[in-house]
Each structure stands twice: as C-alpha cells, then as structure tokens.
Structure 1
Amino acid sequence: MTRALTLAALMASCTLSTASGAQVARTGFDTAQVRTFTVAALLRSARTEVEISRLATSNPTVAAMVDRLVSRLDRPAVSALPLQVVAEAQQRTGANRQAGFGRIARWQRKPEVPGLGDGDAAALDTLTRLMPAELRTALEGTRAVSDDSVDRILAPLDALNFARRNISIGQSLEKLNRFERKYGPDAPQLNGVEVGLNYVAQWIPLFLPNSEGWPSRFEIVGAYVPAYLTMVDSKARAVTVAEVGLRSYIWRAGWGGKEGGVLRPGYLSFGVAVAGAQDGAFVSPLQGESRIGAFLGWGEAKVAFLGGDRKRVLVTRQFQAIPWVF
C-alpha cells in the first residue's frame, strides 16, 4: 500500500512538471515539442525513473549510475539548455568523431555549445541510453504505473530522440545527395585517364571519403581538350589545351542540376593549362615551346589564359565528343 501511494505521488509530480513545460509525446509527434523542453525536464524524468527503479527493486547499479549522471548535469549552465540545441550539437562521442586541428592545438578551448563540455555531452548521451531500458525494466515489477504515466515520464526523452532521429535522417539524405551530385547522371563525364587517376586517388586523404562516409568534394582533372576557342584578328580559332587540376563539387542547397542552372552549378574546376606553340585543333600541347597558363571552370563553362609570346584568352564548354577520350 505504501509503495503504491509513493508511486502515485511520483506520477503526479511527473504530470505537473510535464504539463508546465510541454504536452505529452504521442504517436503524431509535434516537432515543436523538442524546442519547449530543456535539459532540466530530462533530468526531472531521470530522477522520477530512479525513484521508481528503487521502489520496484530493479537493478540498483544502473539506478545509481543514472543518479550520478543527473548530479553531474544538474547545473544551471547545462539544465537551461533547450533539447533542440543538445540534439543539434556537433559534439559526439562516437568512434567516428574526430577532433579538429584547432582543438588539438588547444586554440579552440571553448565548447561548441556554451555550457556543454565534452564530458557533459558524453554524460547526456549515456543518460539517454540508460533511461528507457531501465525504466521499462523497473515497470515490469509493478502495475501501479499506467501507460499514460510512462508517456509523461519519457516525454522529454522521446522529444530528444525524435529530434536526433530527424537530424540523422536529414544527414543521411544529404550524404546521398552529395554522392549523386558527384557520381550521378548530372555529374561531368570523365575520360579514361581521369577515371584511372581518381580511382587510385581514393587512397589519398584529400580524395577519399571521410571516416563517416561523406564523399570528398575534390576530383582530379586531367584532360586533352581540342575545342577551346579564341579570337585572333577578329576570327575564331581553335586551340588545343591540356588541363591538369582539380574539380571541386559545391554541396550547398539550391546549387547544381536544373535547380541551380548556369549561375549556380554543382561544381567548379581550376588548374594548369598547357598548349603547344601553334594554335589549332588536335595540336600536341607539347609541340614546340609550350605555352603555360591557367584554366577556370564554372560548371560546364570554362575559360583559360595562356601566357608566352602568343597570349590567348580561351573559352569552351565541358563536353566529350568521343566518350572516355575527349
């Protein structure tokens, strides 16, 4: 009887604390709820869970661990943080998380989220993993807690996990979009030399996917382009150019494809341009005293400048007349 009354009191306190902050999470979860909850609401839920665990004679070791984590996080700087900020925090404790150069060099000493240090982020992550499993284990030993009460207790945790899941889904979709932009149907066609170079370059840090599987934005350019055009004495003239450089893909939303159009392409390219001593199509770039300059591509549009005695400003468009060749 005493235990049932105590549980009822805990349920009532949980109901009041939840009602003051946000509505209970339901099947049709409102994404705005995660903005109304703070870490303090999550800590209140954890405390309620610990008390239920003790009354239900659940695992005392896990309950004690939850208690210690709550005590660590129960500081104004942490407890006042909205759960949305916590969900979006870049500080993670996963195996793929790498420290930046500035943090290793101790130039960046402040936490990425004010008030939330690396240890606090790890404590929050551990707490949110322990809470649902421990609470459900505790409830197996009592019938005094209804399903609605469980919803109230877990509402802040559900809100946080829902936000994290949405962010994770968004990141996965963005990763797929980047792979499609680089390797999909709208990506520039590579010649045989570029295919070989970029295949081997996958083992070079600048070109390989990062530890979390995101594609590198860079790609090697090594092309023979006989279709550059210039104006000499008011007449159009073809110039053959060898290009050696890099292509950099633009990951920003609204760029690339039909949505970006000509003004906002999905990639740019730059590097060294080499042409032979004479103008003309299908002329060896190594013929005579080669002219050296630079090229810049903005999507499919490209412009190049050649130095030397016969300076040239050249323009062309990214295309392949013969697949895999030029």
Structure 2
Amino acid sequence: METVRVFAPATVANVACGFDIFGFAVDQPGDEVVLTRRDEPGVTIVAILGDEGRLPREAARNTAGIAIQKYLEHIGRTDVGVDVILHKQMPLGSGLGSSAASAVAGVYAINELLGRPLSTIDLLPFAMEGERVACGSAHADNVGPSLLGGFVVVRSYNPLDVIRIDTPTGMHATLVHPDIEVNTKDARFILRNEVSLKNTIIQMGNVAGLIAGLMKPDYSLISRSLVDVIIEPVRAILIPQFDEVKQAALDNGALGCSISGSGPSMFALSANAEIAQQVGKAMQEAFLSVDITSELYVSEINSQGPKVLEPVSNLTV
C-alpha cells in the first residue's frame, strides 16, 4: 500500500455531567487524511484544505503530523517518509473535536499504511499527543470515541484506562454549531479550581445515572442524568442564547441538551431520528432569533470510528 485515505468522525465530549471523562462519536462531520509513502524519511504536511490557512504546516505543531511522528518513533520506523494531505471538514474551535479527528485520522492512516503493526486501542496515546499540541492537554474524551467509536468513558489517565460502553439502539444525537467560535484554552481558563461538596455529590450521581441509563437502557434515567451542575453554568456565558436554545431542545422532546466539548456547539440526545430532527430545527430557530446562523448534524452514535475511504483521487492538490 502506497497511499491511504481515512475519515475520522467528530465527537461530543463531556456529555453534560462527564467533564473530561465522557465522549461519543457521530457520523458527521469529520476530518479526512490522505497519506502517501515517499522515499525520504519524515512527515511532511503538503496541504491542508478547509482551514483558511489557519493551521500550522509544520508536522511537529500539527495535530495529525505530531500523532504520526510519535507513532513512527514508537514503532522504530523513523526511516519511513509520508506526505500528508489534511482535509478539515468541520469548523475550527467548534467544540466537535476537530483537532481530535485530525489526529485520529492521521495515526489510523499511518497504521494502515504500514500493515497494522499496532491494534486500534494502542493508537490512542499518539492521538492524544495531537490534543496536547492543539490545546496544551493530552485529554482523551474526544480522541477516545473518534478512534474507538461509540460512547467512551475515560476512567483514568494514569494509567490510561478507556472503556467503551453500549448505548440504546436508535438513540440519536443532534449537533448544532452556531457560527461563532470559542477557544478551548479560553473555555478552560474560566473554570473554577474548586467545586463544592454538594455539587460534587450531585454530579457523581448524574455520572453514575447516565452510565446506568445508557446500558440498561432507560431513557427516563438518561434524561434525569443529563444534568451538569459544575461546568455548564460557567461555560454557558460564552454561548449567546444558550438557555433559550437548551429549552427549545427540551420542549421538543430531547432527553437532554448541553454544551458539546468546550462549545460553542450544543448537543442533544433523543430517543429516535424524528425527534432528533425536530429538536435540531427548534435549536436552530432559537439561535436565529438573535441572528446567529448555524449548521445542523443529526446521526446515531457512530459505532465504527475511523474508516478507510476509496478512491483517494478526489483529495489531492
């Protein structure tokens, strides 16, 4: 294999009550990477499409590039050379795991190109290095579900322990990305360093309830547990019309609604596709009432994660 093209899905991190420990993948949007072998060793970013020139072309500073570099160092193949074309298919700073999707697509592609010397789960630490470059923290709540598919729990970072759990068949996610931008570093900066015991207990109950509700499955329990009393009240101020958009989702049948990652995108979970579409329309209308346009994505929980695409010919420069 001399060339490989890979798609990696967007993700919703935190999922209301699960700050930095929950995440799930969706079908769309996502990022694509094309890798091509070359004679000279090293990783070269030859093109980035869809970023309006904002992302670094230096491999060590690019989320896909650094993930590939760390992977090659780990398996002792620094003799390998690859050209990288990255196609960004979602907005930067969207709260949809844009940097994670690029890192996952890159490391999954290089593993495919070299004949899969590592298992998929073993690729996770290299994808996390992409997150470190992007926002200063090698967190796994986006790269985990983008790489493994499904709903993922990050139980521990030291040692790294990531678990994928089952979700109800037919449950759909609604993602609405308003045409504004929230920087991940800024969204982390405003968080409080200390949390009250009362709120910690409430949040722990919701975390346990959400996991139980997803696995049973029990939609009523899922709905009661999709509540964030720690992070959402602080970050909501960064999203205009947040309260109205959330209420619109709930009024139209959503099980729950909160911020996707660090925002500004918002997500809702619904029992089926019809409700999810209705919820999305209502959320968009709430944003539009204050002249904020948005993009809408509706899908089931993506259980596959990254995938190899064919042909590669339409993603070249």
TM-score normalised per structure 2: 0.21
**Of Structure 1 and Structure 2, which has the larger fraction of its residues in helix?**
1
More strand by share: 2
Tell me: higher relative CO, structure 1 or 2? Use CA pairs within 8 A at least 6 residues apart: 2
TM-score by length of 1: 0.20
